[in-house]
Amino acid sequence: MTTLVNQKRNINRFYILLTALLIAGGLYLFIPFSSSQPDVGFCPLHSTTGVACPGCGTGKGVRAIFQLDLYKAWMANPFSFPLAMLVTIAPFWITFDLWRNNYSFFRFSHWVNVTLSKSYFFAPIIALLITNWIWNIFKYTL
């Protein structure tokens, strides 16, 4: 019984953390840092070192997707598309899970984590990440 209670507590903590991250991400995406430059984002790595990270441009890309400018989103960062799907679907899925006491989103995220950890998925994902990083470095330094 104690294990089940601890497992539910951990799942609820996961949902609370994910909800907080979704809210923070929504505020980040839709409240511009500067009214004169609404596309300016914040990347700690790029701000301190001048080198773009693999995620640079993702916020701009998600904003562009919500404005239906798919080309701009792709050019900002291709990782914007899966992130936009996540931030669109996750709040509804989490709400449904909490309402039904189901935890299907947690099970799905666990399945994705286990599946992507396998070497035949992991190696191509790392290759895509490195390729995107190189592209971002050239894109933001030229």
Residue 80 banded pLDDT, cuts 50, 70, 90: very high
User: So where are the chain's domains?
Assistant: 2-141
Q: What is the pLDDT of residue 35?
A: 52
Residue 71 pLDDT greater than 90, yes or no: yes
Tell me the pLDDT tens digit for each residue of 132-142: 888 888 887 76
Kindly provide the residue ranges of all beta strands, DSSP E only, lying in the chain, ordered along the sequence.
none
The encoded tokens of residue 108 equal: 């799905």
Residue 22 banded pLDDT, cuts 50, 70, 90: confident
Residue 1 banded pLDDT, cuts 50, 70, 90: low
Contacts of 141 (CB under 8 A, 6+ apart): 50, 51, 52
